[in-house]
Amino acid sequence: MQILSFLGFTILVAIIAYLATRKTNEESSDGYFLGGRSLTGVVIAGSLLLTNLSTEQIVGLNGAAFKEGILVMAWETLAAIAMVVTAVFLLPRYLKGGITTVPQFLEKRYDKVTKTITSGLFLSGYVVVLLPIVLYSGALAINTMFDVPSLLDVSETKALWITVWGIGIIGSIYAIFGGLKAVAVSDLINAIGLLIGGLMIPFFGLMAIGDGSISDGFTTLINTNPEKFNSLGDSKASVPFGTIFTGMMLVQLFYWGTNQAIIQRALGAKNLKEGQKGLLLASFIKILGPLIVVLPGVIAFHMFGDTLTNPDQAYPKLVTEVLPASLVGFFAAVLFGAILSSFNSALNSSVTLFGIDIYKSHIKKDATEKQTVFAGKSFGVVLAILSMCIAPLIANAPDGLFGYLQEVNGCYSIPILTIIVVGYLTKYVPAVAAKVAIISGVVLYSISQFILKPFVVGADNYPHFLHVMAILFVLNIIIMLIIGKLKPRKTAFVLNYTNQVDIKPWKYLKPVGIGICVIVVSIYIYFA
């Protein structure tokens, strides 16, 4: 029954995605990479949420909550503020310039070499870190929920390889052969299912704790585990309170405002109004995120205590423990959709980055749009195979998968955010300053986290990686401004309007944005 409901929902999503995209012209760059610039606010919001809310988030963040409590909700709630900033500041500029990829802006603002370096950083981050971790965490969840090793009578390692390749192949078909619109439509359907399914887990979990009463379950949970309900982390926590005002907001702004895998949904908006609606709708729903990605971890701690050796198994174990057997298959299908979403979104963005920023810029400058799309698809196949080979090898990743992912991502996130922010806020900083900032950002962060921290100073006495990110962000901005003062551009940079979409802003942008920020601050004050 579980397997039938799993297969039924998965096939239904695939059919709807096919029917919704069969008329889209995917031989053109805009048609394939941006869904024909036709995405509406609701579709953008659904796709944004599901692209973000995958197993490295659901499994990893609940695993962190299992260990530390609700203080890890900072990764969710503060995302809402970053999305508001993106809607107000970055998206109008992106759509005004008519870009398909974020590095395209960097070519206009700086030069082609800066664009290529940035695209290379994005691609290396996707293939080495993001794609394999999404596949690994997804396979771990599916294997735990369905007990795949017993089902297939194979070892855990072999089951991991089978599940990783199953997820990878299906995700590749969506991303490589369907384009952005297929990804976005399937995301929207799965996002609805994930919200329903995700909220069912704490619902049934609290009922189990409270002997059939949700309110009694919540009261018992708080009274028994008061230390898990403090939103302010100390200096030894994975998210110390001070980091909220330093690197945390920078990571969030990079992720929601400049990360190609995420912002590509908003770049495909039919106009600025729909793009802003999508971002703000997603940010409002994001505030509810801790109910799905934090609270179940605390419930799992209450139910399983110290019996779990791997915190990242807390969530899938809770699902199989509290969810009625008839719903496990449906929820596994929704979770499978979330896994596919993060995988195929990053893969689709990689295809876009390679086709537009590398193939057409350096390999075949006179390539037609059809040739560019074909080259991107071919590259996507290679990238998918590489990530599927790497994923099972990270089975021994450190505890706290989500925090580990964020720390490694710092190698490229802060340097890229730096040059984009300076690029939009200044007119005379030259291309050489961007190149210096990218190289110094990557090198200094790598030395800090992978040499000084483990081998020289020691992890216990070293500043938190989010603080390190903030320090390097400020340092790189200073370096760029000094170079801009000593060797400025000869002409001021002007962002021209390409008229590809209407850039009239949504009239309720400011009041809704302010309201969302007030709600986030209120949540922190309540749980402080």
What pLDDT score does 34 carry? 47
Task: Give the integer Cα–Cα distance in Å for 360 and 33.
Answer: 14
Write the single-letter amino acid at 295.
Answer: L
* pTM of this structure: 0.81
Task: Give the integer Cα–Cα distance in Å for 282 and 303.
Answer: 31
Helix then strand then coil, % of the chain, to nearest 5:
80, 0, 20
Q: What is the distance, to the nearest Å, from the Cα of residue 32 to the centroid of all Cα atoms in its chain?
A: 21
pLDDT in tens, the chain (528 residues): 556 656 665 666 566 655 655 555 444 444 444 445 667 888 888 778 777 777 777 888 898 899 899 999 998 899 999 999 999 999 999 989 888 778 888 988 999 899 889 888 888 887 777 788 888 888 888 888 778 888 888 888 899 899 999 888 877 776 555 544 555 566 666 667 777 888 899 999 999 999 989 999 999 999 999 989 988 888 788 888 899 989 999 999 998 998 877 887 788 888 999 999 999 999 998 888 898 889 999 999 999 887 877 787 888 889 888 988 778 777 877 777 777 777 776 777 777 778 877 888 888 888 887 788 788 778 888 888 888 888 887 766 554 566 667 788 888 889 999 999 999 999 999 999 999 999 999 999 999 998 998 888 887 889 989 999 999 999 999 999 999 999 999 999 988 888 888 889 999 999 999 999 999 999 888 887
Look up tokens 């996707």; give the residue.
Answer: 126
Q: Is 24 helix (H, G, I), strand (E, B) or coil?
A: coil
Domain architecture of the chain: domains with CATH: 2-17+34-493 (1.20.1730.10)
Task: Give the integer Cα–Cα distance in Å for 422 and 182.
Answer: 34
- CB neighbourhood size of 515 (10 A): 14
Closest CA to 126 of 393, 411, 438, 470: 411
Task: Give the integer Cα–Cα distance in Å for 254 and 415.
Answer: 10
For 118-134, give the DSSP string.
HHHHHHHHIIIIIHHHH
Closest CA to 9 of 327, 324, 320, 334: 334
- Measure the N-to-C terminal CA separation of the chain; round to a whole number of Å: 44
Question: 275 — phi, psi (to 5°)?
Answer: -60, -45
Q: Is 304 helix (H, G, I), strand (E, B) or coil?
A: helix
Sign of CA dihedral 419, 423, 427, 432: positive
Token representation of residue 515: 């309201």
What pLDDT score does 455 carry? 86
Look up tokens 């887990």; give the residue.
Answer: 201
